[in-house]
Amino acid sequence: MFVRRRWTALATISILITAALSHPDPGAAAPAAPTITLAPTETALVRVRLADQGQLDRLVAGGADLANRPRSRDGRPVADLVLTGRQLADLTRQGANAVQVVQRADDGTRRLAESVRAAEARTRSGLRAADGADTLQFLQAYWWTTGGRTFLQAQVATTATDDPDVEITVNWRTADGATGSFPLYRFEDSGEYQYHYALPQPVPARPVQLTATSSLGGTSRPVTPALWPNAAPPPQPAGYQKDFIDAYLTPVDVRARIARLGRQYRDLVDVIDLPNRTQGYRRTAAAYLGDPAAAAVVVESVRFGDQGMDGVQVRTVDPGRPGRPLTVRYRDRVLTVSLATDSAGKVTSSTDDVAGAINARQGARFRATVEDGSAGLPMPVAGPVRLDDGLQGTEVPARPWTVQALRIGKHRDGSRVGVLAYSQEHAREWATSLVTLEFAERLLANARTDAATRQLLEQVDVFVIPTVNPDGANYSFHDYNFQRKNLVNHCTGVARDPKYRTMWGVDVNRNYTVGSLFDGYVGASANCLSGNYAGTAELSEPESRNVIDLARAHPNIRFAMNVHSYGGYFMWPPGAYKADGRVTLPRPSIDESTLFLASARRIVGAIAAERGTVTWPSQTGPVADVLYSAAGNSADQLYYELGIFAWDFEVGNDRWNEVTGQWEGVGFQPPFDEAHGESQEYAGGLVELVRVARDYAAGNPVRR
């Protein structure tokens, strides 16, 4: 699927991260021998056990490309990070160790799971009881069965919130008298204590009683864990049609699928062209004039490469005569820079001189910057070199892209409650568009043969945007599979060097207006090379404006689901907080919180009905609590500004490895069999969301 790129790609981590990695904690323990290594320039998504919380804090402050919320294992944070081999080696020297290569760059369909080493013994120290016993309270206690295995998950809070050394142990008992225990680990967010927790633990049978004890002498009251999610969808009737997904789909494929559905189901579908066309799969054309290892100037076209600039040649020449000025001429698609000479005929132009002359005299066609490290150096005679946009997707149309939505229902006039499902805001999340397309096609196909589906489409008006970010998705499929952002390049100066080309773009899901970076909220960056760059302003990008414009144009939309990957989360607002005191956006009311959680149980139950996949209770809840602060995300704007009950999926739940006894990640682009499974189970969850909307509308009819 991928071809060798003509540009050398850097990892998709901001250059700020390199600085964060270069300042190790002097108190970190000596690193153990790494179990996993990468070649220095190789990029991969790696699950890393970090040395301590301080190391994680430095990575977050540096804008690290975190795939999901860090967890705790054996008292140490575990994070999924996009890293180069050099960055992984830096982390390893600081006391971290890799436990799994989740996915490698340029290998979107290969999964390379690594077995983890045996858990290290946790040093138990600092036990303090002088102040008396603390009070313990279970915040969560749930069990479930999947794949023939029973799992238990618990969260416990202590009143000794300021004591970082408090240790909490959960003791369990099953109905047949079996007993056991496991430790919980302290979880802080933005410097604020939240609770103690652990990943789901395997137990031999249904647990009937839990207690918690602490190292300070505290003991909780016994609790009975509840079945999670304890909800199931209605059974599918005989002949129910599903499984419409048979391959990963590029944006070109998605557009063809939308067109086919529009033709096939004219009585049930409108195809909506969203109003804001994207940049398209286009970039400016660029080249190094000179040797980047010695002295070079980056010359870039002002227009896109497909607008006649690919193939333009650039060169510097020695005029061969003394006392000549620096001149710039563009003729017959060749940009010629004649270097200045002194009275002896020696070339005197520097790299800065050449870049300045190009910008001053041919600024309407070209922009030039001195390559990082080449400032002030003598400009060599070089070239000719050809400008090139570096894009590899030859079958992708090189023009602005019209994003499309499907509107599905019997009454597409605003008289029925509306549900919006949208996906692939992040380009590399290939399975997400499969989820929304499978969902759409199930509704359409079964409306002809299944009375329950036909009734749903009588009662609900469904909107689906399969690919919010088509430009970034095209780049992810054809050029760099870890691309997260769109293709708009707002960088200036040396940040426009082609070596940063895999780091350009805006994070579409950090570009919305509520709880944004521009309002002081955490979880987005002003650095154009960061993986979560928020853009130049709120709603600066056509991709984000399309989502909001569709919702504003159809006020009957009361429910929305934003489909992302990976990690197995089910979330709702608030999605952002301010760091000082961890002040979140306002919490939903009691009634709305109840609706969010009750609906989540139903939808998580529908997901589990397909192949037993259970979204963990610890990963079900407000975004800011169960994932991280995501300043300027779309769900917050839909909820707080437009009054829409807005959720987020993170498809691709961790899988239990019976051999290693560990949970392992599946990545953004798992082997297709896994992506297919995700499409089936989460499409079922979206169908249940439509039922939730129907039931809500029964007591809250749409007012036109």
Q: Is the pTM of this model over 0.85?
A: yes
**pLDDT tens-digit profile of 78-124?**
989 998 888 898 999 999 999 989 888 875 544 333 323 333 333 33
Catalytic residue (one of 650, 664, 674, 681) = 650
Mean pLDDT of the chain: 90
Q: Determine whether 425 is an active site residue.
A: no
Mean pLDDT of 534-550: 98
Rounded-to-integer distance, Cα 57 and Cα 52, Å: 9
**3-state DSSP: the chain helix, strand, coil percent, rounded to 5?**
25, 30, 45
Whole-number pLDDT of residue 18: 40
**pLDDT tens-digit profile of 4-50?**
333 333 333 333 344 344 333 333 343 444 468 888 888 889 999 99
Rounded-to-integer distance, Cα 184 and Cα 182, Å: 7
Pairing of strands 168-174, 179-189: antiparallel
**pLDDT tens-digit profile of 369-393?**
999 899 999 999 999 999 999 999 9
Please state whether the peptide bond connecting residue 229 to the residue before it is cis, i.e. omega within 30 degrees of 0: yes
Residue predicted with more confidence, 222 or 13:
222
Whole-number pLDDT of residue 33: 43
**pLDDT tens-digit profile of 421-456?**
999 999 999 999 999 999 999 999 999 999 999 999
Confidence of residue 54 (pLDDT cuts 50, 70, 90): confident
Rounded-to-integer distance, Cα 222 and Cα 207, Å: 12
Rounded-to-integer distance, Cα 398 and Cα 32, Å: 49
The tokens for 298 are 């980056």
Rounded-to-integer distance, Cα 156 and Cα 96, Å: 27
Please state whether the peptide bond connecting residue 384 to the residue before it is cis, i.e. omega within 30 degrees of 0: yes
The tokens for 629 are 């602060």
Lowest-pLDDT range, 127-131, 183-187, 198-202? 127-131
Whole-number pLDDT of residue 535: 98
Rounded-to-integer distance, Cα 341 and Cα 348, Å: 5
Concatenating the DSSP letter of every residue in 138-151 gives EEEEEEEEETTEEE
Whole-number pLDDT of residue 107: 59
